[in-house]
Structure 1
């Protein structure tokens, strides 16, 4: 393949896009997507147009393609019109559900109790980097309808298989649900193993019965996130004071603050892990590209949605690759800018804003708990991992009523549920996507059936671990798993740079500022990780 097919600096024109090297290029000219390519009628982000109907009025023309890498070229299709930029619901809710987890409610409050709110400047950097990563993850997905995994395979297939294996190693352990179930045990007395097993089975049954899994999850997670944001804000206002809020906010701008203890073998790996968990960690940003596709964002409108196993036979046939729009057409580029505004609002208002609001609430609670229990920092230094949560629950209770302590642990349970819903869906979605497109023979199963296979596989493994093994996974490989999770973040930044700059037409590639930020993120994550490894012999904790 001529490298100019990938790296051309020109907008897409007819000569660049006409394919002659695939069987599809020999089919008669079409008026629109073939029935197997058009996607379901219930697809599309709110306000998106019907590209198939629009193309039906166009005269027949020769099929055109965009060649990217050594895989099948992408046919040119019409980009739907973008919905309004300002909106409430969207695929960001999945990242918020995955991101507002133990990092915001446990890891960062613990650091604040030890080092003070000034340590939160590192959180600001972490969550801001992730907002930019989210924007750049969306670029390829919305321009092509393909996941970032497919984009990675276009660059170099082993790169995609690295993420497939990493997901299997890192995300099969039921850690989030176990933490939430443990918090629920404190207020209900029900053994956490029983709650966790029941929760996993419930998630599996609900996902199996859902007609379109994305619709169900978007609605449920939106409600749960709303309860969490409002609830934590109200309780933080009751427990904390204006001084706590002021120090929490100003602490975010104490750039360069790094006490000597923070650079110790005991705490530097914890800080590295906390930065990685400032928002969604590991591969969660990569899975976001699949949620964009099921939302029908950009060219994702041409891809059918994943259905629950009960409705798997209703799923339309998946195309064998994504699609590209004509970047030489000014009207198409105007619609593309509309989609970029839509996802930018998602990244900086919904994702960044909600994540920041929740972590501010928990930081206020941490400072309030230090006033109620001045010895809590020493207890944490002594190795009591639950001391931070217990202290915050005690501050709730001291604020006026024992019921507040119960409410706090219910919030932790809610966080565990949010993360479990998001992780189970995302893991199954990502593995099914890579299996369907790149494992020989997998296409004889629908994407929905492969999704169900991985969903019930991770549920079965989780139940077995909860009942017969260590709930957090074998202790001997925990450091390795944490290492892989953080390493994956540096790796996906490198992958983003390659995919967006090599596989997309120049008019929709990222600008130099975006590339510099993603390159900095790669160095930031990988540099801190390997410094921790070689300086202290310890990976992320």
Structure 2
């Protein structure tokens, strides 16, 4: 062991109890940014690409305990509970049995690796993943902003939560006469929920903190209610079928709706535009180099703003910093796995088991299955518990979706246009939040706008699944070509991203071909799950998919080889899942 390695103690790597507790309320350390050294353009530091912006050099902060940094993944879990885990997957399992459970299980694990790779860029550079994509080309973050609005801009989750709440309260058929306007009670409830969400952001200067704390409460209640519902309705025997479902890898029952299936894959977790928020949530919390970036404060009730620098921070590859990186990377993965993966597998499996027992073979959508098929079978107490569970899950998701869309979009707009125009990031955030809430209220107020909320959610989910293909590809390019050896993904991680891009790419091709053939009447683009038997256009789509995947594999391999053995003692940064 070298002298440098012997001289580094645990106290140099890990934060004290007092220092670590600061992270519970998120942490920010101001810097004299303009006086800091700019990272040299060598292999030991992130590659800025064609962008003129250079990274500033500081030591990586010491590593706190897991209990000090819980939060970002709880918001992500909240974004997941009311989507695939409440409406999509229980319906799929009820319709086709546990033979499809493999796709949920693999989808959750795949999103674990995708989400932590999204975090990687921010941990290492303090920049959002959108800024990382912008360093490749400015059209990428703009494209995801547009796709994000298409997939999340319709308040389907608020509509579904309000619909469930109204049915549970027995007021679903009530119409309120508001003078010139007559409004269904469930629509008014949805509007009230949107307003309440907006009001919570006005409670504290640090808007992230109130979102995190409320989401932790809502998520905890949702998971507990799902478990209690599962036990109370006696669906334990269904769990014996879960191992068989996990082992049925690749099985897709004939007649499966590919849009619903792709939506389920995307929402085996948060999905789509929502996943990219993981970067911004860990930045707000202060993970890794993000501790030097400012947090977004409420411009109405907040105090002095904290700057978010366009060009982030990086650390010199000393032994101390390399060991700190290993600690931060281990911490980020544990926080995401124990909160997001375990929470999803527990809560969603409980709900799937209940749906499989009480709604086997249903042809209804998610909302109708629970309210019209399951609820009448489980008695007054079971029905009340069911409605409470569904309402909490859907409300939690709607809250997280608003937070995610606004935070992502504010970052994109600010970096592409606002910063150069002298706009304030907090004001962009607050303005987008207000406009997005008002947009949702307008949509909920139009009687003809939402008659079938679940069908809108299918479109939203399918679009989210398609969106995940390009950004898993870009993640791999950014993290293997732009990050130095000691913060790059290891080979195991690279393979997981090959898998993720192939996974979402394959099902995206199936959906695109399905839309061309069945919706647009272009039979030549029909795509068969076995590939063989597709139309001519379908073969072309699969050929394009294979070409993209081969290019991604070649690019990432080249990036790994180029950076190999360019940083002394880089092995000090490695963990089990580097």
Verify same fold: TM over 0.5: yes
How far does residue 299 in structure 1 lie from its aligned partner after superposition? 0.8
Distance 1:504 1:47, change over 3 A: farther
1:453 lines up with 2:442 in the alignment: no
How far does residue 307 in structure 1 lie from its aligned partner after superposition? 1.5
Distance 1:475 1:203, change over 3 A: closer
Q: TM-score, normalised by structure 1?
A: 0.82
Question: 2: distance between equivalents of 1:419 and 1:234?
Answer: 20
Question: 2: distance between equivalents of 1:129 and 1:123?
Answer: 10
Describe the SS at the equivalent of 1:510.
Answer: coil
Query: For residues 333-352 of structure 1, what are the structure 2 equivalents within 5 Å?
Result: 333-352=322-341
Question: 2: distance between equivalents of 1:255 and 1:461?
Answer: 41
1:35 corresponds to: none
Question: 2: distance between equivalents of 1:45 and 1:108?
Answer: 35
- Decide whether the 8 Å contact of 1:180 with 1:413 is kept in 2: yes
- Among candidates 264, 289, 310, match of residue 299 of structure 1: 289
Residues 83-92 or 119-128, more deviating: 83-92
Unaligned runs of 5+ in 2: 1-18, 172-184, 520-578
1:319 corresponds to: 309
2:487 corresponds to: 508
Query: For residues 76-87 of structure 1, what are the structure 2 equivalents within 5 Å?
Result: 76-85=57-66
Deviations 1:403-423 (A, max 9, x none): 220221121111121112111
Question: 2: distance between equivalents of 1:439 and 1:301?
Answer: 25
Question: 2: distance between equivalents of 1:325 and 1:48?
Answer: 21
Distance 1:414 1:391, change over 3 A: same
Describe the SS at the equivalent of 2:23.
Answer: coil
Deviations 1:177-196 (A, max 9, x none): 11000000012245111111
1:463 corresponds to: 441
Distance 1:304 1:391, change over 3 A: same
Describe the SS at the equivalent of 2:294.
Answer: coil
2:511 corresponds to: 532
Residues 435-444 or 356-365, more deviating: 435-444
- Among candidates 478, 484, 491, match of residue 499 of structure 1: 478
How far does residue 252 in structure 1 lie from its aligned partner after superposition? 2.3
How far does residue 453 in structure 1 lie from its aligned partner after superposition? 1.0
Distance 1:476 1:406, change over 3 A: closer
Question: 2: distance between equivalents of 1:42 and 1:177?
Answer: 37
1:411 lines up with 2:389 in the alignment: yes
2:361 corresponds to: 377
1:433 lines up with 2:411 in the alignment: yes
Question: 2: distance between equivalents of 1:83 and 1:47?
Answer: 13
Aligned structure 1 segments of 4 or more residues deviating by more than 4 angstroms: 41-44, 46-53, 60-63, 440-443, 472-483
Deviations 1:100-145 (A, max 9, x none): 1231112111111111112101111111100111111111011111
How far does residue 535 in structure 1 lie from its aligned partner after superposition? 5.0
Residues 82-91 or 189-198, more deviating: 82-91
- Decide whether the 8 Å contact of 1:437 with 1:443 is kept in 2: no
Distance 1:52 1:387, change over 3 A: closer
2:398 corresponds to: 420
Question: 2: distance between equivalents of 1:157 and 1:422?
Answer: 26
Q: TM-score, normalised by structure 2?
A: 0.77
Question: 2: distance between equivalents of 1:488 and 1:471?
Answer: 24
- Among candidates 308, 322, 343, match of residue 298 of structure 2: 308
Question: 1: distance between equivalents of 2:433 and 2:426?
Answer: 10
- Decide whether the 8 Å contact of 1:312 with 1:448 is kept in 2: no
Distance 1:193 1:61, change over 3 A: closer
Count of matched residue pairs: 480
1:391 corresponds to: 373
Q: CA RMSD in A?
A: 3.0
